[in-house]
Amino acid sequence: MRTHPATPAEVESWLTVLHQRGHLHHAQSGPDTTWIVQRGQHDRPWTLHHPVLAMDWIEEIVREIQQQNPETSR
């Protein structure tokens, strides 16, 4: 459980790391704390409209990664 609200900087950091490690095909900042993300090259782009919603989406990806590679959860 989070004890403080998600910030745009936190979202930027997570998206950068996920992109650099190959878990996202595309991640771009949009206007007014929005982000346009694309999981795979042929996937439809998603727009994340708020830092809290973006962090929820990021959490789902991190859980999927951990399920695919149990050693990453250590």
Note the pTM of the prediction, 2 decimals: 0.85
33-51 pLDDT, tens digit each: 999 999 999 999 999 999 9
Backbone angles phi, psi at 50, to 5 degrees: -160, 145
- DSSP one-letter string for the chain: --SS---HHHHHHHHHHHHHTTS-SEEEE-SSS-EEEESSTTSPPEEE-SHHHHHHHHHHHHHHHHHH-GGGG-
| Cβ burial, residue 14 (10 Å; 0-12/13-18/19+) | buried
Percentage, residues of the chain above pLDDT 70: 92
